[in-house]
Chains A and B, each alone.
Chain A
C-alpha cells in the first residue's frame, strides 16, 4: 500500500514539474532560514568548548539596583564587590569565578600597525570551570590573581598577530599601556560565546585602579559551577536570599537589588526585559521566539496550502474518476498526504543542504572583526528541523486533503465551468 502511494506520489510530482519546483523552493528556503537561526542560537545557548560544563553552570550578569521610592534604577552588569561578597560565599556552589561582564576592546600596537583585542579580567577559578585546551603553557592561578602578577593567557590569533608564528609563552605583550608576561595560549573563542570570549585574559588585580573591589554595580559577572543541575534551585534561592540582605553604602540612594543566578537563556531574558524582579520570565522569551518563528512560517505555509489546493483542483476529474470507481476518502486522503509528505521531505533535505552551506559560509567568512564562527548542524538541530518539517507538512496538507475529500464526484468529473 505505502509503496504504491510512494510510487504514485513520485510520478505525480515528476509530472507537475512547475508545482513541484515552487513547492520545493518554498519548503527548502523556509527550513534553511529556520535551521540557520536555530544553529546560531544553539551555538550561543548550548555548551560548546570551552563551555563544556554549561549544563551545570549558572551565571550572574545583569542586575537592577533600585532607590527606596523605586524611581531611580541602575541596570547593568553586577559589580565585583557584590559578586565577591554574595556569590563567592554561596554554600551550594562548587566553584565560583568572577570575570569582566564583557570583553573590552583595547588597541594593541605592533610594528606600526594597530589591532583591536578583546580584553577580559578573570580569576584563577575561571580556568577550572571552563575547559580550555592549552596550545602551549598553562592557565594563571588564584595565586597570580592574589599577588597581582602581570601574566596573561592569549588566544591563538592574537599570538599570530602579535608574535608571528613563534611560541609566545614567556614573552611580553603590551596592551593598554601595561606589560604582561604570556603564560598560556588557547584556541580562539568565537565572539558570540560571550562568557568565555576574549583575546587576552589577565588577573583582575592587575586593573589600574582598585575602586572596583567594593562596587555593587558595574563591569563584572560571575559564573557558578554546581555539582549538578539538581543544585540549581538551591543556588538560586540562596542568592536571592543574599540579595535581600545585601548592604548598601548609601541606603537612601539605593536600597534594593534584583537579579539571579541564571542559565544562559535566562540571562538573555533578564537582559532583554530588565525588570526589577528576581524572576527572568524566560518563558516569555521562548514564547516570543516561537511566535516569531510561526509568523515567519505563516507565509510559506499558506503558499504551500494554496499550491496544494490548486494541485487538487487540477486533478479534480482524476479524483472524480477514482471516487466513481469506489476509492474511499481514506485512500484519497492517504494518497494526498503521502504526496505532500514526500514533497516536504524532499524540500527538507534540500533545506538541510542549504543551511549547511550557509553555515559553512558563515564559518569561513569573517563577518565580525577577528571572529570566525563555528556554527554547525548537530543531532539536536537535526531533530528540531525534523519537527519543523513535520509540522509544516501536516499544516499544509490537512486543509487541502479535507477539501479534496469533500469534492463531489459528479461535479469533479464535469470540472464545472
Chain B
C-alpha cells in the first residue's frame, strides 16, 4: 500500500552534511505487520517519518496506494495523514492538560463534517478497543505507562487509518506492559486488517511480525 523508492535523506547544517538514509526501497503491503530494526542512529526513525509523510526525502519517491506524493501540498498531506495514518510514539506524547477522551479525539478535530457527539462516540469506541472505558475522564499523568500507551493507541486508531506507525511503542514499558501493547497491535492487525509498521530494537518483538526491515548506517541491510 505504501512504496518508497530510492529514498535519500541528507541533513544539512552550515558546516556539516549528514546522510540519514541512502537508497532505501521499501514496500509495505496491505494488511502486513512489518518491523524495522537497527541500532540507534541508524536512520530507522527517519524511515518511519518518511512512511508517515512527516518528512520529505531529499531524493526518491513515496507513493501511497500507487499515488506519488511529491506534488502534494501541506494541506493535502495533512489530510492524507489524518485519514490514512495513525502514529504511536515511544514516550506516548499525550497532551497532559487534556483528559484521556479529549486526547483521543485530537485526530478527529482535523477532520471535517464530524459533530461533537460523533467525535465523542468514536473516541469512546477506540478507548473500548484498547480496554480503557473506565479511565476516559482521567488526565494522562494519573495513568500508568501501559495505560498511557493504550490511550496513545486509541488516539492512533480513532480515525480508522489503514496504516499504523509505531516508533518503539514498548520502549518505555516493562515486559508485562509490553506484552499487553503487542497483543493489542496484533489484534488490530488481524481483526481489523490494519497495516502496521513498527520500529523496534527488540529482536523478540521483531520475530512476532510478518517481516523485518533492517537498517544499518542509513542503508537497508535486507
A-side interface residues toward B, CB under 8 Å?
A: 414, 416-417
A416: which B residues are within 8 A, CB to CB?
96
Shortest distance from the beta carbon of B151 to any chain A beta carbon, whole Å: 12
B-side interface residues toward A, CB under 8 Å?
A: 91, 93-96
B91: which A residues are within 8 A, CB to CB?
414
A414: which B residues are within 8 A, CB to CB?
91
Chain A facing B: main interface SS? loop
Show 6 residue pairs from A and B whose CB-CB distance is below 8 angstroms, ordered by the A residue.
Answer: A414-B91, A416-B96, A417-B93, A417-B94, A417-B95, A417-B96
Give the docked Cα–Cα distance between A417 and B94 (Å). Answer: 7
Give the docked Cα–Cα distance between A82 and B96 (Å). Answer: 77
Give the docked Cα–Cα distance between A417 and B92 (Å). Answer: 10
B95: which A residues are within 8 A, CB to CB?
417
Shortest distance from the beta carbon of A213 to any chain B beta carbon, whole Å: 80
B94: which A residues are within 8 A, CB to CB?
417
Q: Please give me the residue from chain B that is nearest to A414 by CB atom.
A: B91
By Cβ-Cβ distance, the 3 closest A-B pairs, closest first, are A417-B93, A416-B96, A417-B95
Shortest distance from the beta carbon of A410 to any chain B beta carbon, whole Å: 11
B96: which A residues are within 8 A, CB to CB?
416-417
Give the docked Cα–Cα distance between A417 and B106 (Å). Answer: 14
Give the docked Cα–Cα distance between A290 and B201 (Å). Answer: 67
Shortest distance from the beta carbon of B20 to any chain A beta carbon, whole Å: 24
Give the docked Cα–Cα distance between A128 and B22 (Å). Answer: 99
Give the docked Cα–Cα distance between A331 and B93 (Å). Answer: 32
Q: Please give me the residue from chain A that is nearest to B95 by CB atom.
A: A417
Shortest distance from the beta carbon of B166 to any chain A beta carbon, whole Å: 18
Give the docked Cα–Cα distance between A414 and B93 (Å). Answer: 11
Shortest distance from the beta carbon of A149 to any chain B beta carbon, whole Å: 85
Give the docked Cα–Cα distance between A157 and B96 (Å). Answer: 72
Q: Please give me the residue from chain B that is nearest to A416 by CB atom.
A: B96
Shortest distance from the beta carbon of B186 to any chain A beta carbon, whole Å: 27
Q: Please give me the residue from chain A that is nearest to B93 by CB atom.
A: A417
A417: which B residues are within 8 A, CB to CB?
93-96
B93: which A residues are within 8 A, CB to CB?
417
Shortest distance from the beta carbon of B69 to any chain A beta carbon, whole Å: 28
Shortest distance from the beta carbon of B36 to any chain A beta carbon, whole Å: 24
Give the docked Cα–Cα distance between A223 and B50 (Å). Answer: 89
Give the docked Cα–Cα distance between A128 and B96 (Å). Answer: 77
Q: Please give me the residue from chain A that is nearest to B94 by CB atom.
A: A417
Shortest distance from the beta carbon of B171 to any chain A beta carbon, whole Å: 14
Give the docked Cα–Cα distance between A406 and B111 (Å). Answer: 40
Give the docked Cα–Cα distance between A388 and B94 (Å). Answer: 44
Give the docked Cα–Cα distance between A416 and B140 (Å). Answer: 11
Give the docked Cα–Cα distance between A344 and B95 (Å). Answer: 36
Give the docked Cα–Cα distance between A414 and B92 (Å). Answer: 12
Shortest distance from the beta carbon of B174 to any chain A beta carbon, whole Å: 17
Give the docked Cα–Cα distance between A417 and B91 (Å). Answer: 10
Give the docked Cα–Cα distance between A414 and B91 (Å). Answer: 10
Give the docked Cα–Cα distance between A417 and B96 (Å). Answer: 7
Shortest distance from the beta carbon of B87 to any chain A beta carbon, whole Å: 13
Give the docked Cα–Cα distance between A414 and B96 (Å). Answer: 12
Give the docked Cα–Cα distance between A416 and B94 (Å). Answer: 9
